[in-house]
């Protein structure tokens, strides 16, 4: 059974991503998973949300361009080779994977961000009380 992913086209400028997440938060939409791909002028946020139809409605009301894409979601065992074991089924079935992303955690969701200046961003966010995880801490979550 497929799941509807919401793809949102975003102008590549400061604050656009925050505006999209604010619109979703104000609409009562919970983002379960997210992937962000960019080009020079625009980005595409790919979202798995709790209510795909309401998410699309609130995004369109806020003048975002949002579309549905069917995707497949599978459980991957949290052990060495877990992803490899699942991917073997795709290979054996001659299924090509265009892109993939994940969400995981024991009691929390974890997001990984790529920013233009990692050290400055980390310092700025630490000043606001946020602590980025170290490589060692990531291994424990």
Which residues 6+ apart lie within 8 Å of 75 measured at CB? none
d(CA 86, CA 13): 37
Per-residue tokens: 119: 């050290």
Q: What is the CA radius of gyration of the chain?
A: 17
CATH 3.20.20.140, domain 3-73, yes or no: no
Q: How many helices (H) and strands (E) does the chain have?
A: 5, 4
What is the pTM (predicted TM-score) of this model?
A: 0.75
Strand partners, 5: 69
Each domain of the chain, given as residue ranges in start order, spans 3-73, 105-141
Written as tens digits, the pLDDT of the chain (141 aa) is 567 889 999 999 899 999 999 999 999 998 888 999 887 789 999 998 888 899 999 999 999 999 988 887 777 777 788 888 878 877 877 677 888 888 765 655 554 554 566 667 767 767 766 677 554 554 455
């Amino acid at each position: 059974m497929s799941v509807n992913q919401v793809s949102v086209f975003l102008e590549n400028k400061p604050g656009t991503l925050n505006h999209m997440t604010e619109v979703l938060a104000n609409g009562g939409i919970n983002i379960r998973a997210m992937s962000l791909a960019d080009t020079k002028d625009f980005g595409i946020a790919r979202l798995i949300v709790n209510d795909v139809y309401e998410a699309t409605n609130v995004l369109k009301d806020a003048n975002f361009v949002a579309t549905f894409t069917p995707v497949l979601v599978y459980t991957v065992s949290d052990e060495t080779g877990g992803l490899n074991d699942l991917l073997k089924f795709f290979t054996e079935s001659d299924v090509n994977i265009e892109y993939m992303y994940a969400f995981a955690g024991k009691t929390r969701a974890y997001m990984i961000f790529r920013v233009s200046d990692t050290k400055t961003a980390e310092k700025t966010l630490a000043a606001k009380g946020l602590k980025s995880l170290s490589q060692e801490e990531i291994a424990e979550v």
